[in-house]
């Protein structure tokens, strides 16, 4: 079973970060949210490993406290 | 309705009102799909059964419309699969639209070599009508129309009912009560029992319309279509050119207003075109819930179908799971009533069908969460999956417009005899799985399932079971019929031939491979060699006897004769 790699794994971190922001150019907030979600689903499918994905979800959620006022759709 | 006239079944004054009181073995409340299937199954086993229904006709308007392959196979066993399959519309292709575009399409086209298709669509009233017709041919089944249960009391020995009729009330006592009186289950309420779960804050309009159209016979599901923005719509064909249209309305919709033809027509015209010609047959606005009773088996009272558990309609898991409930229940109850199995066997009905209900509720809840996103982010992910589905196969597996009903594999059932680790099998026919059909040549028809009937069956590949052993297994108190695949018929035994090799493939068969099938056709044990003691042990286990007690004291005595 694989574990989530949280060591630096990007050859060019600054380039990646810029490309990520570039991906959102000319998009409004709703569109950006959609594109982020699509990106996440594509990457999740690429990774495939359930344990890695769940570890990533837990890591992403860390330090983010639950909020009571969840907006309905 | 233009295409269907509800039959009126005759109410008869019950003899109890004139002083003839008779204690009953099994009484069923509710002559819907589930209650009728239970009644037919019991009556076919020679068990007298009385069905009470508060109405005098079948379903008014269609409700359930999609019947799964497994349901048709159960109906075949009950002697009424053919009319449902014939009248029903079979379909394989589903299309999912998102906004203006086709997101993707899927094909349920089953692998060849099955008698029944993946699904047929048929109005519920036809389904019930065919079951009533079948029940009426069985002397052991009596249906009383316009008989409403108004009071119930129970103890360890049985149940006493108060039944209201147009001519007055009467008391009726029975040993067993099967409750199949639907989602609102008056009997459940009378007994003060409740269901637990979730109500979904959404409303849906169903309209059944009569329309001659060249729409293909496919399941079409729209997310956020241009003619009904921000909501979902489903179009499905039924028999007689009747189409089911299901519009998501949202929680704030007014059900009384939405039901009015003046409000339905514009929605339909927006969808089908301004010049579409159709007539509304029936319309209803519904909300739904995913919930179940904590237990289905309460001593001498057993709940089945919607009375026991509720799901959203997406996935066709309501009527289909209800029919599977009674498929699971009736053979067990029959053995218990005949004194051949301990009453605790019915606890396994609870275990197996609660596991199935939870599986159905899980799938149905997930479909509902996809169709009705409950938060902004949930909507975003849904749209992301739909948008990716247009180009990428993987995302189509994330889109959920209802995961269509498949039979539950009773993997964890304690009625299964585990296969030892060193005995290897591949394929889907694990203990707990419903027996897969396959084409055969045989005395009872062209399909494996035609030969199974409603008893335990030992399916053996080759002639590993000596004639004497087969005869003894068939004469056991809990009879087990041997079905031999291949070879020459000896001793009048059922011998079937594998028509094209599919039977052997589906069962991963080698010479001497044996499968023990329960009366509901679920696999409960399998071996690579025939061992009569192991077969009897597995029958004992599958009927709630502990491994070291014999069935009605008979097994030990006769076992040596088998060699």
Q: What is the overall mean pLDDT for chain B?
A: 93
Note the pLDDT of residue B41.
98
Q: How many CA atoms lie within 13 A of B502 on its CB side?
A: 16
Note the pLDDT of residue B557.
37
Cα separation, B179 vs B181, in Å, equals: 6
H/E element, B221: strand B219-223
When pLDDT is averaged across residues B27-42 and rounded to a whole number, the result is 98
B368/chain A closest Cα distance in angstroms: 14
Kindly give, in sequence order, each residue whose CB lies less than 8 Å from that of residue B458, ignoring residues fewer than 6 positions away: B465, B470, B473, B480, B481, B482, B483, B514, B515, B516, B517, B535
Cα separation, B421 vs B240, in Å, equals: 53
Q: How many residues are present in chain A?
A: 73
Spatial contact of B359 and B411, defined as CB atoms under 8 Å apart: no
A30/chain B closest Cα distance in angstroms: 8
Cα separation, B18 vs B113, in Å, equals: 56
A37/chain B closest Cα distance in angstroms: 6
Spatial contact of B427 and B414, defined as CB atoms under 8 Å apart: no
Angle between the B33-44 and B319-337 helix axes, to the nearest 10 degrees? 30
**Which chain B residues contact residue A72 at CB under 8 A?**
374-375
Q: Do residue A41 and residue B381 have CB atoms under 8 angstroms apart? A: yes
pLDDT tens-digit series, residues B74-89: 999 999 999 999 999 9
Q: Is the alpha carbon torsion for B239, B243, B249, B254 positive or negative?
A: negative
Residues of B numbered 359-388 whose beta carbons fall under 8 angstroms of chain A's beta carbons: which are they?
373-381, 383-385, 387-388
Q: How does strand B242-248 pair with strand B279-286?
A: unpaired
**Which chain A residues contact residue B250 at CB under 8 A?**
none
Alpha-carbon distances, residue B503 vs A43, B112, B431, B449 (angstroms): 41, 12, 17, 11
The three-class DSSP label of residue B57 is coil
Residue B437 has pLDDT above 50, yes or no: yes
Spatial contact of B399 and B96, defined as CB atoms under 8 Å apart: yes
Note the pLDDT of residue B475.
95
- Could you tell me what percent of chain B has a pLDDT over 70? 96
B197: left (phi over 0), alpha (psi -120 to 50) or beta: left
Measured in Å, how far apart are chain B's first and last C-alpha atoms? 64
Angle between the A29-47 and A50-61 helix axes, to the nearest 10 degrees? 140
Nearest chain B alpha carbon to A29: B380
Note the pLDDT of residue A66.
87
A17/chain B closest Cα distance in angstroms: 22
Write the residue in B375, B380, B394 that is nearest to A37 by C-beta: B380
Note the pLDDT of residue B199.
86
Q: Do residue A42 and residue B379 have CB atoms under 8 angstroms apart? A: no
**Which chain A residues contact residue B377 at CB under 8 A?**
33, 37
Write the residue in A34, A42, A45 that is nearest to B380 by C-beta: A34
When pLDDT is averaged across residues B546-555 and rounded to a whole number, the result is 48
pLDDT tens-digit series, residues B193-214: 999 998 888 999 999 999 988 8
Residue among B248, B376, B382, B384 with most chain A CBs within 10 A, to mutate: B384
Backbone angles phi, psi at B520, to 5 degrees: -90, 15
Note the pLDDT of residue B215.
86
H/E element, B52: strand B49-52
Nearest chain B alpha carbon to A35: B384
Note the pLDDT of residue B552.
44
Q: Does B531 touch chain A (CB under 8 A)?
A: no
Write the residue in A38, A45, A71 that is nearest to B376 by C-beta: A71
Residue B554 has pLDDT above 50, yes or no: no
pLDDT tens-digit series, residues B290-345: 999 999 999 999 999 999 999 888 888 999 999 999 999 999 999 999 999 999 99
pLDDT tens-digit series, residues B117-138: 999 999 999 999 999 999 999 9
Cβ-based burial of B53 (10 A; exposed 0-12, middle 13-18, buried ≥19): buried
Q: Do residue B395 and residue A70 have CB atoms under 8 angstroms apart? A: no
Q: Quick one: pLDDT band at residue B488, thresholds 50, 70, 90?
A: confident
Cα separation, B561 vs B563, in Å, equals: 6
**Which chain B residues contact residue A45 at CB under 8 A?**
392, 394-395
Residue among B103, B376, B397 with most chain A CBs within 10 A, to mutate: B376
**Which chain A residues contact residue B384 at CB under 8 A?**
34, 37-38, 40-41
- Which of B117, B40, B56 lies closest to B323 in space, CA to CA? B40
Write the residue in A40, A45, A72 that is nearest to B394 by C-beta: A45
Measured in Å, how far apart are chain A's first and last C-alpha atoms? 37
Cα separation, B14 vs B143, in Å, equals: 11
B552 versus A57: which is more confidently predicted?
A57
Residue B491 has pLDDT above 70, yes or no: no
* Per-residue three-class SS string for A9-62: CCCCHHHHHHHHHHHCCCCCHHHHHHHHHHHHHHHHHHHCCHHHHHHHHHHHHC
A19 versus B556: which is more confidently predicted?
A19
Q: How does strand B148-154 pair with strand B159-165?
A: antiparallel
Instruction: Tell me the count of A-B CB pairs closer than 8 A.
Output: 39
The three-class DSSP label of residue B182 is coil
Alpha-carbon distances, residue A4 vs A8, B301, B417, B430, B481 (angstroms): 12, 52, 40, 34, 54
pLDDT tens-digit series, residues B506-546: 999 999 999 999 999 999 999 999 999 999 999 999 999 97
Nearest chain B alpha carbon to A45: B394
Q: Do residue B398 and residue A33 have CB atoms under 8 angstroms apart? A: no
When pLDDT is averaged across residues B414-433 and rounded to a whole number, the result is 95
Note the pLDDT of residue B462.
94
Spatial contact of B535 and B480, defined as CB atoms under 8 Å apart: yes
Spatial contact of B387 and B98, defined as CB atoms under 8 Å apart: yes
Q: Quick one: pLDDT band at residue B560, thresholds 50, 70, 90?
A: very low
Cα separation, B497 vs B181, in Å, equals: 43
Write the residue in A33, A41, A73 that is nearest to B388 by C-beta: A41
Q: Do residue A42 and residue B392 have CB atoms under 8 angstroms apart? A: yes
Residue B115 has pLDDT above 80, yes or no: yes
Nearest chain B alpha carbon to A36: B384
Backbone angles phi, psi at B478, to 5 degrees: -100, 100
When pLDDT is averaged across residues B279-289 and rounded to a whole number, the result is 91
Residue among B231, B381, B399, B400 with most chain A CBs within 10 A, to mutate: B381
What string of DSSP letters covers B402-460? -----PPP-TT-TTSPPPPTTS---SS--TTSBPPP-BEE-TT-SBGGGGTTTSEEEEE
In whole angstroms, what separates CA B334 from the centre of its chain? 19
Kindly give, in sequence order, each residue whose CB lies less than 8 Å from that of residue A26, ignoring residues fewer than 6 positions away: none
When pLDDT is averaged across residues B393-412 and rounded to a whole number, the result is 93
- Which of B149, B142, B193, B191 lies closest to B171 in space, CA to CA? B149
Cα separation, B164 vs B147, in Å, equals: 6
Give the least confident one: B162-166, B242-246, B327-331, B547-551.
B547-551
Cα separation, B255 vs B53, in Å, equals: 28
Note the pLDDT of residue B1.
84
């Amino acid at each position: 079973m694989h574990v989530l790699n949280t060591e630096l794994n990007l050859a060019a971190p600054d380039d990646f970060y810029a490309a990520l922001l570039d991906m959102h150019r000319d998009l409004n907030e709703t569109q950006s949210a959609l594109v982020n979600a699509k990106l996440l689903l594509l990457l999740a499918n690429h990774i495939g490993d359930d344990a890695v994905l769940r570890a990533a979800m837990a890591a992403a959620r860390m330090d983010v406290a639950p909020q009571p006022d969840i907006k309905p759709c | 309705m233009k295409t269907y006239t509800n039959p009126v079944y005759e109410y008869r004054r019950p003899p109890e009102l004139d002083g003839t009181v008779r204690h009953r073995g099994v009484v069923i409340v509710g002559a819907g799909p589930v209650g009728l299937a239970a009644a037919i199954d019991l009556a076919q086993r020679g068990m007298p059964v009385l069905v009470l229904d508060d109405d005098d006709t079948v379903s008014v308007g269609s409700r359930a419309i999609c019947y799964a392959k497994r349901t048709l196979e159960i109906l075949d066993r009950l002697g009424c699969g053919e009319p449902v399959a014939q009248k029903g519309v079979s379909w394989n292709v589903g299309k999912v639209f998102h906004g203006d575009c086709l997101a993707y399409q899927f094909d349920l086209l089953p692998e060849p070599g099955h008698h029944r298709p993946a699904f047929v669509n048929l109005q519920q009233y036809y389904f019930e009508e065919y079951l009533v017709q079948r029940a009426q041919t069985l002397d052991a089944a009596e249906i009383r129309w316009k008989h409403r249960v108004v009071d119930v009391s129970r103890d360890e020995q049985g149940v006493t009912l108060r039944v209201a009729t147009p001519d007055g009330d009467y008391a009726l006592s029975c040993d067993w009560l099967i409750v199949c009186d639907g989602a609102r289950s008056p009997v459940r309420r009378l007994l003060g029992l409740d269901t637990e779960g979730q109500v979904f804050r959404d409303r849906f309009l169903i309209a059944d319309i009569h329309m001659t159209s060249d729409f293909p016979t496919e399941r079409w599901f729209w997310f956020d279509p241009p003619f009904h923005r921000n909501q979902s719509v489903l179009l499905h064909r039924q028999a007689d050119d009747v189409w089911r249209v299901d519009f998501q309305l949202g929680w704030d919709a007014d059900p009384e207003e939405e039901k009015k033809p003046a409000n339905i027509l514009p929605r339909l015209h927006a969808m089908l075109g301004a010049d579409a010609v159709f007539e509304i047959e029936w319309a209803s606005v519904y909300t739904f819930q995913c919930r179940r009773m904590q237990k289905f088996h309460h001593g001498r009272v057993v709940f089945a179908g919607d009375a026991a558990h509720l799901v959203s309609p997406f996935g066709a898991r309501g009527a289909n799971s209800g029919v599977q409930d009674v498929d699971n229940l009736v053979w067990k109850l029959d053995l218990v009533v005949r004194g051949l199995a301990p009453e605790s066997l019915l606890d396994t009905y609870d275990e197996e069908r609660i596991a199935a209900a939870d599986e159905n509720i899980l799938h149905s809840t997930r479909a509902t969460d996809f169709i009705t996103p409950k938060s902004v982010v949930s909507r975003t992910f849904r749209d992301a999956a739909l948008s990716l589905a247009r180009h990428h196969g993987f995302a189509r597996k994330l889109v959920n417009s209802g995961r269509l009903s498949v039979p539950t594999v009773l993997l964890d059932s304690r009625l299964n005899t585990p296969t030892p680790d060193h005995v290897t099998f591949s394929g889907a026919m694990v203990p707990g799985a419903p027996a897969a059909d396959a084409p055969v040549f045989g005395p009872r028809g062209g399909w494996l399932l035609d030969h199974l009937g409603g008893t335990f069956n030992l399916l053996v590949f080759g002639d590993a079971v000596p004639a004497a052993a087969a005869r003894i297994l068939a004469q056991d108190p809990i009879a087990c019929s041997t079905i031999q695949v291949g070879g020459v018929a000896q001793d009048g035994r059922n011998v079937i031939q594998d028509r094209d090799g599919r039977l052997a493939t589906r069962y991963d068969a080698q010479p001497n491979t044996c499968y023990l099938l329960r009366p509901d056709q679920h696999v409960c044990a399998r071996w690579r060699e025939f061992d009569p003691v192991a077969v009897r042990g597995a029958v004992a286990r599958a009927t709630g006897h502990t491994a070291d007690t014999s069935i009605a004291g008979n097994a030990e005595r006769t076992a040596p004769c088998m060699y």
